[in-house]
Structure 1
Amino acid sequence: MKKIVLTFISFVILTGCLQQQSSTLTTNSISLDTKVQPPSSFIPKTIKVVAIGDSLTEGIGDESNQGGYIGMLKEELEEEKRIKEVELTNFGVKGHKTSNLQKKLKEQKVISSLKEADFVIMTIGGNDLMKVVRGNLFSLDYEPFRLEQKNFEKNLKDIFTTIRKHNAKAEIVYIGLYNPFKHMLPELTEIDEIISEWNMSTQQMLQKDKHSIYVSVEDIFISESEEMLLSEDQFHPNSKGYSLIADRVLEKMKSESLFVDIR
């Protein structure tokens, strides 16, 4: 009888201990750390660049066949941490003036590219200016340049309006004019002043658009020591000249923090 009683008491005590242990175990919570996802800004992205304009954008004069400043810029951009890849579409055409670019922007393939662009990079206006230079080379006068400048400004404003019609947020990067006659015809100092006036009017136009920047390159080709930056035709940059333009564009894009809000 005593054995039975002792066995029963032991069973009750053991059962109570197990229940208490079980109760303790069920109340313990398990904490799992939630994995923090990196901000989207840290993930390299593919960007779409559309290049438009004249022979400089086409890359005429680049003996290295790297595609001129725009091809070199593409390589430099792809070295940036925020950029995984650059999808470049180049619509630059030798000889194009602002009037030609206006027509080019009406082509469906150009429109489609503009709609998808993150950046629109352009050189235009050099042929508008040179048309007047060639027509007044031996009787240089400011008046024909001032008249042509009005046409240039009107056409350029229409070009910017057209781009914005198809894409309101793309960053427009306009590369300014330079004087290719600096070393060939150094006595024509008036051209420097005329080019500065044209560039200034373009800068003022771009300042009205918060997604547009102006890149000055005229100083690159000003000093006599920089004569070797032009190609054999003494008009277009050579590979070294294009490389300096690409560096200047990238520097300006960085200073304006254009990579921060890449979509």
Structure 2
Amino acid sequence: MKFWLSMLCCCLLLSACTVTVDEPETSPEEYEKSLGTTSVPIPIDDALYIEKAQKEGIIEKLGDIFQLDWLTRKEIDAQDIQYLALGDSLTDGVGDEYMRQGYTERLVEQLEKWPAITTITLDNRGKKGRRSDQLLRLLEKGHYDKELEAANLVTLTMGGNDVMKIVKTDIFSLKKEMFDEERVNFQHNYEQIVKEIRARNPEVPLILIGFYNPFSIVVDETTPFEEIIVEWNNDVRELAAQDDNACFVPVLDLFHTNEDLVYHTDFFHPNAKGYERMTERIVAAMKECDIEEMSDGLIGFEE
């Protein structure tokens, strides 16, 4: 106890003492010069620069850890994608009042948000009215050889015009047997189209998009067309299942009615809203098919 009392007394005694230091008669600037140093205030811009540099240093370290460019939210090894769109009026974008090439430009916009992709170059070769036999002839002639060889992603819409070819013959005397006969040709053509694509690019992710029944909004009751469209779509689905790098996208249900106003004023093609729905379905299907593994990591998910 005596020890602590002694220490306390010493502290009180020292605190009572004052030490004075004479201020230099020179100004602070002159005093600093005499020491050989001059203090220069840091401009605001420079201070912001230093703060930015410090942040960038942290970002760079995070980038090294996560392999991510934190300024763009892109992976450090993100790459450009060559996207080839083949097909009919759905690929051409007929009915899109915003003239954004239907689902194709919208798909590009969605995929470019994914960290593994820098930019996507779209090559849209869709054409209104094109049938499976017409596309097959173009492929056999080597019409898209270079485009297919360079492609990192291919989408295809086909089938609607094959059905309409029969409808146009005589809409008042249609029989299901007529569609069954043409279905055999469609199966053959579609299978050969896939083979021609694979001959030029064996590994490219191939997105096979189904088609819908445009007459569903004209006739209220169920018609044989529903069964026909389902069967033809199932043919495409089966072809996709036989190819490890192919993915089927069903869209039949998206255009069953026009309650959500998804049809163009021609009541046959989608409008902008309809194409947006298609794009959402395509992206969802690509994730479900694991497009990242299918593309060997080239097309990575946005998560």
Is 1:246 the equivalent of 2:279?
Answer: yes
Moved more, 203-212 or 145-154: 203-212
**1:98 Cα shift?**
0.4
- Please show how residues 183-198 of structure 1 align to structure 2 within 5 Å: 183-187=217-221, 189-198=223-232
Alignment of 1:1-263 (within 5 A): 38=67, 43-106=77-140, 108=142, 110-187=144-221, 189-226=223-260, 228-260=261-293, 261-263=296-298
Q: Which amino acid aligns with 2:127?
A: V
Q: Which has more radius of gyration?
A: 2
- CA deviation after TM superposition for structure 1 residue 111, in Å: 0.8
Deviates further, 161-170 or 75-84: 75-84
Shift of 1:223: 3.4
Secondary structure of 2:91's match?
helix
Distance 1:97 1:170 in 2: 23
Unaligned runs of 5+ residues in structure 1 are 1-34
Please tell me whether the aligned partners of residues 82 and 259 of structure 1 are also in contact (alpha carbons under 8 angstroms). Answer: no
- Contact 2:75–2:115, Cα closer than 8 Å, also in 1: no
1:108 offset after TM fit, Å? 4.7
Task: Tell me the CA shift for residue 253 of structure 1.
Answer: 0.8
Matched residues in 2 for 1:156 and 1:223: separation? 27
Aligned residue pairs, count: 228
What RMSD, in angstroms, separates the aligned Cα atoms of the two structures? Answer: 2.1
**In structure 2, how many angstroms separate the alpha carbons of the residues matched to 1:188 and 1:127?**
21
SS at match of 2:122: strand
Paired amino acid for 2:247:
I
**What secondary structure, in the 3-state scheme, does the structure 2 residue paired with 1:259 have?**
helix
Whether the 8 Å CA contact 1:47–1:262 is kept in 2: the answer is no
Give, in whole Å, the separation in 1 of the partners of 2:106 and 2:138.
24
Write the distance in 1 (CA, Å) between the matches of 2:284 and 2:214. Answer: 23
Matched to 2:271, the amino acid is N
User: Deviation digits for residues 39-81 of structure 1, max 9, x if unmatched?
Assistant: 9976221111110011110111100111111111111111111
Tell me by how many angstroms 1:101 deviates. 0.5
Work out the CA distance in 2 between the residues paired with 1:237 and 1:86.
24
Q: Give 1:110 shift.
A: 1.4
Change (3 A) 1:105 1:205: same
Q: CA deviation at 1:104?
A: 2.3
Instruction: Name the SS for the 1:164 alignment partner.
Output: helix
Answer with 36-45 or 111-120: which moved more.
36-45
C-alpha deviation, 1:184, in angstroms: 1.7
Q: For the Cα contact (< 8 Å) 2:80–2:117, is it kept in 1?
A: yes
Instruction: Identify the structure with bigger relative contact order (alpha carbons < 8 Å, sequence gap 6+).
Output: 1
Amino acid corresponding to residue 130 of structure 1 in structure 2: M
Question: Which has the larger displacement, 167-176 or 42-51?
Answer: 42-51
| TM-score between both structures, scaled by the size of structure 1 | 0.81
Paired residues of 2:136 and 2:192 also in contact (CA < 8 A)? yes
* TM-score (norm: length of structure 2): 0.71
